[in-house]
Amino acid sequence: MRKYIFSVLIALLSLPVIAQQQQSQAKVVLDKTAEAFRKAGGVKADFIIKAVTNGLAEGADSGTIQLKGEKFVLKTSDMVTWFDGKTQWSYVTKNDEVNVSNPTQEELQQINPYTFLYIYQKGFSYKLGTAKIFCGKTVWEVVLTAKDKKQELERITLYVTKDAYEPLYILLQQRGQQMRNEITIMNYQTGQDYADSIFVFNRKQYPSAEIIDLR
């Protein structure tokens, strides 16, 4: 009995050490992923996004995101979103309208899944999960959890390739909801040469669109 109690005590005392090691290892993976992204220049990623509720897929869509630093243009079947680092334009196809805003960091998290590359160092705790095979590649699993209990985005789960530190899978879990969004990266291209103008809404390409300024 005494031996059992000692074993339990040792296990409990080692938990903080294990947790600290997991966080340290996770930070190394995140730092290397962020550094690989910074060195990649312009990035283009084709993806599939699924809405999953209680383990069942409710809908799926495909899209493309082009990135340069914090700037991006995101295209799906029903929307195009541009962000130049300050201003965001979202064109809704079915309404033929453009919503203009200056989004908060939390709002950007809902739109651009790559925002985690800039936010993980503050506002999130993180730990390293198990190494696994995903889409034929060996990946790191990293789980980020928001420290602010009021934040809508509660958790991000990432699969990052072990060799090149490129994101392959991003899961976004909203707080208090059974639904989550799962993003699988199907194609990832680096070294793209993008002019800053592609991250700004071009009125000439959407002459009939109604502009709704929310700033």
Q: From CA 108, how far away is CA 116, in angstroms rounded?
A: 10
CA atoms within 13 A on the CB side of 49: 21
With pLDDT > 70 as the criterion, what percentage of the chain qualifies? 88
Which pLDDT tens digit goes with each residue over 122-169? 788 888 988 899 999 999 999 988 888 887 788 889 999 999 999 999
**Distant-in-sequence, close-in-space partners of 62: CB < 8 Å, separation ≥ 6:** 46, 47, 48, 49, 76, 77, 186
**What tokens appear for 158 in the block?**
């990432």
Q: Binning pLDDT at 50, 70 and 90, where does residue 214 land?
A: very high
| Amino acid type, 165 | Y
| pLDDT tens per residue across span 17-30 | 333 455 678 888 98
Domain 22-213: CATH superfamily is Lipoprotein localisation LolA/LolB/LppX (2.50.20.10)
pLDDT tens digits for 48-62?
988 888 777 788 889
pTM for this predicted structure: 0.80
- SS3 for 143-165, per residue? EEEECCCCCCEEEEEEEEECCCC
Q: Could you tell me what percent of the chain has a pLDDT over 90?
A: 45
Note whether 88 and 81 are within 8 A (CB). Answer: yes
Number of Cβ atoms within 10 Å of the Cβ of 119:
17
Per-domain boundaries in the chain: 22-213
DSSP-derived secondary structure letter, 213: E
